[in-house]
Chains A and B, each alone.
Chain A
């Protein structure tokens, strides 16, 4: 029995089938990247593993235990950081530590929190609030929070897609380093095949939705730590890149292609104008500002 096992998992929202026949087994210590188009159901898949959603068909087991609810044995890093803006970086991580290890002494909890902030190189910014951190720093806090739970598996839901290219490359290196240090089992969701090839041991494409399912695995045999420059010239890199690309494009041609896209609409409700607005700080997006739009893929 594999460490994380998904058997015949399916999920639909209303009448739309999002995922079907998902079979996936991941061994302990493995780093698996799942690559797919926007809107193909990648986030739904990781929410199922996290336990935030329940599958309509099939079963998901971690260490032979069925997953039915979220829990600190799975550390998840969300695409949009999901830090609590009224807590400092330190307090955000500490909150997770307090929940995961309620029996520890206060000093031990603080020490544990410091350790993981240091692991993501964020100790100097520990007392800043998320609003005062850059996107890359916020994502580091989110990674520290997930790792501080000492989870059995780390789930990364497009953790770098909101970042600029340079920050993205830096954080990819950090993730690679942290992974080498902790030897955690990792599931990475991404829309960038190159990111998958750089980081993962195995890459699995997710076909375009609706009714998305997993394609064949591509094993990456390039040894760690990988060098970004030389990897481009590695023979396997090119064939694999083409293979994944061809598979994804092929899957898209099979059905007539539509996908839903997340749109963030501007807030048009009147607010109190007599209060000065702080510049440059955006409040969190309210649920009703997020709409879904159906787009046709070329």
Chain B
């Protein structure tokens, strides 16, 4: 048996141990064969000013890391909102109507695996007539198109899985179509929808980085790409860590919301 205080420390000590191991491997690589890879210490030295002054603005592409994160989050929020607004109704139609499914399901299955990198140029072309705004519109389009699929598919599955009992209630009470939707279908589908929403948010955050890299917009992804071109490799690592942490926080936040609907 382990002493109980050690057991209690497991939750903190073991993750710290994991972090230590990864840092050691990283330091080992940069000291031996990957000479260009900055060591952990060098990364910290070079990134310090970005982290300690997270909201500083020294130039268009030289800003505190949280300021960059904020730009990225705003863009993600817009694209994600668009994805939900388009994806949820499509999911409902897929779940409710067999002929709609037969018409559009093949297209959805083909479009779903397409990478964000492939959608972005198309988005830029699509909004070419918007001039200066083309890059933002293109990025929004890419986020929306890539991140809506989990919402679409989960909503459709949820609608199909509505128990027959509930539909019988709607039939016996002679609920109109719109009341059946509001009183029965949507509440019964909510848990599935929120699983879709959470997965969609994860994808939206993945896409933002690619979109910013290609369009050169200020944001975490844009900063990462610029610093790569400027040969400041320490900042690449800073960006990766930031992207990971933000993605983690977003996912936790969504799963809190999701859990509320699962038990409700």
Does B48 interact with chain A (Cβ within 8 Å)? no
Q: Report if B175 contacts A (CB, 8 A).
A: yes
Interface: A287 (CB within 8 A): yes
In the assembled complex, how far is the CB of residue A148 from the closest CB belonging to chain B, in whole angstroms?
11
Cβ of A111 under 8 Å from chain B = no
A281 to chain B minimum Cβ distance, whole angstroms, is: 8
Interface of chain B: mostly helix, strand, loop or mixed: helix
Segment of B11-19, B165-173, B220-228, B232-240 engaged in the interface with chain A: B165-173
| From B163, B174, B183, contact of A284 by CB (8 A) | B163
- Quick check: is A234 within 8 A (CB to CB) of the other chain? no
Q: Which of chain B's residues have a CB closer than 8 A to the CB of A4?
A: none
Q: State how many angstroms separate the Cβ of B223 from the closest Cβ of chain A.
A: 31
Docked pose: A281 CA to B183 CA in angstroms = 22
Q: B171, A52: Cβ atoms under 8 Å? A: yes
A84 touches B163 (CB 8 A): no
Given contacts A284-B165, A287-B164, A50 and B172 within 8 Å (CB-CB): yes
Q: Does A13 count as interface, using CB distance less than 8 angstroms?
A: no
A80 with B165: in contact, given A95-B183, A275-B259 (CB under 8 Å)?
yes
Pair count A-B, CB < 8 A: 59
| CB pair A72 B165 closer than 8 Å | no
Distance, CA A84 to CA B179, complexed state (A): 14
Q: Which of A84, A276, A281 contacts B184 (CB 8 A)?
A: A84
Per-residue interface assignment for chain B, residues 85 to 117, with 1 indicating a CB less than 8 Å from any chain A CB and 0 otherwise: 000000000000000000000000000000000
Interface membership of B255, Cβ < 8 A:
yes
Least CB distance, A50 to chain B, in whole angstroms: 7
A44-85 Cβ-contact flags toward B at 8 Å (1 or 0): 000000101000000000000000011110101010101010
* A99 near B171: Cβ-Cβ < 8 Å: no
Interface size class of B (residues with CB under 8 A): 20 to 34
Residues in chain A near residue B166, CB distance under 8 A: 82, 84, 284
**Contact A99 B175, beta carbon cutoff 8 Å:** yes
Given A275-B255, A275-B258, A287-B161, A86-B173 contact (CB < 8 Å): no
A285 at the interface (CB under 8 A from B): yes
Q: A residues within 8 A CB of B161?
A: 286-288
- Among B164, B165, B255, the residue within 8 A (CB) of A274 is B255
Can you name the residue of chain A whose Cβ is closest to the Cβ of B160? Answer: A287
A-B contact pairs, 25 of them (CB 8 A): A50-B172, A52-B168, A70-B171, A70-B172, A71-B172, A71-B174, A72-B172, A72-B174, A76-B172, A78-B168, A84-B166, A84-B169, A84-B187, A86-B187, A99-B173, A99-B175, A275-B259, A276-B259, A278-B262, A284-B165, A284-B166, A285-B163, A286-B163, A287-B161, A288-B161
Q: Using CB atoms and an 8 Å cutoff, list the residues of chain A in contact with chain B.
A: 50, 52, 69-72, 74, 76, 78, 80, 82, 84, 86, 95-96, 99-100, 149, 272, 274-276, 278, 281, 284-288
- Known A-B contacts: A275-B259, A284-B163. Give 14 more (CB < 8 A): A50-B172, A69-B171, A71-B172, A72-B172, A74-B172, A84-B184, A95-B173, A96-B173, A99-B173, A149-B173, A272-B195, A278-B263, A287-B161, A288-B161
Cβ-closest 4 pairs across A and B: A82-B165, A86-B187, A99-B173, A70-B172
